[in-house]
Amino acid sequence: MRIDIITCLPKLLESPFSDSILKRAQEKGLAEVVVHDLRPFSTHKQHATDDYAFGGGAGMVMMIEPIDRCISSLKAQRAYDDIIYMSPDGELLTQPLANRLSLKNNLILLCGHYKGVDERVRMHLITREISIGDYVLSGGELAAAVLCDALIRLIPGVLSDETSALTDSFQDGLLAPPVYTRPSEYNGWRVPDVLLSGHAAKIEAWRHEQALARTLARRPNLSMKGEKVLN
């Protein structure tokens, strides 16, 4: 999978991809994330990428020309499955959506800033919009990093135990059960006996029961909405 991220603030995207799982996925050649600075694609003085809004009002608007030039240069090099604008107006990112997108080969993520992008970008250049939640961030960069993380960890071989992504919260419409590690007792707080029993079937049943109880208590709508893996 290759993900091209277009941004006017490339520095914001340096650290999420230079550590841990996202770094290793790239080192193993399983994912490639390329960040493109929008500024060099601007033909304006001082490489401006934004301008005042027609009709007035506070806030700058990202211009279509540098975005079009950047997207066109990428499309000339390879075919893209989707060109995604990160936006609070978009389709909400859920595990089923992440599962579907993780099967794609080439994606472009466009990060908005200021008041957003010229509406003609949304009408003519992008293929979908994705939101990471019902709140407004100051730009799309952190949202793009969240989306990349959710997708890349699903690529086979990225996580050392391939099944672990499938046992995450949400993958079966349930939250994950509680987990414990050593010591088995701390400050008098004991790990549930069943986990120390060595009885695999009992442990599996306990975990399922706990996942159900936790989902009902915390996110009662989740199991009803839960879709199966890769659905």
* Residue 159: CB minimum distance to ligand ADE, A: 25
Cβ 189 to ligand ADE shortest distance, Å: 37
Stretch that binds ligand ADE, among 41-49, 128-136, 164-172, 222-230 (CB under 6 A): 128-136
DSSP SS3 for 62:
strand
Is residue 135 part of the contact set for ligand ADE (CB under 6 A)?
A: yes
Dist CA 84 CA 33 (whole Å)? 14
Count CA atoms closer than 13 A to 52's CA, side-chain side: 5
Tell whether residue 151 is a contact of ligand ADE (CB under 6 A). no
Among 96, 140, 173, 177, binds ligand ADE (CB under 6 A): 140
Q: What is the DSSP letter of 137?
A: -
Determine if 84 is a binding residue for ligand ADE (CB under 6 A). no
User: C-beta of 140: minimal distance to ligand ADE in Å?
Assistant: 4
The DSSP output letter for 30 is S
**Listed ranges 22-30, 39-47, 65-73, 131-139: which one lies at the site for ligand ADE (CB under 6 A):** 131-139
Q: Which stretches within the chain are classed as H helix?
A: 20-27, 64-75, 95-101, 119-124, 141-152, 193-196, 200-218, 222-225
For ligand ADE, give the closer residue by CB, 100 or 115. 115
Should residue 96 be labelled a site residue for ligand ADE when binding is judged by CB under 6 A?
no
Given candidates 42, 102, 131, 171, which one binds ligand ADE under the rule CB under 6 A? 131
The answer to whether 86 contacts ligand ADE (rule: CB under 6 A) is yes
Find, among 213, 164, 41, 202, the residue nearest to 110 by Cα: 41
DSSP state of 122: H
Distance CA 32, CA 3 (A): 6
Binding footprint of ligand ADE on the chain (CB under 6 A): 86-88, 112, 131-133, 135-137, 140, 143
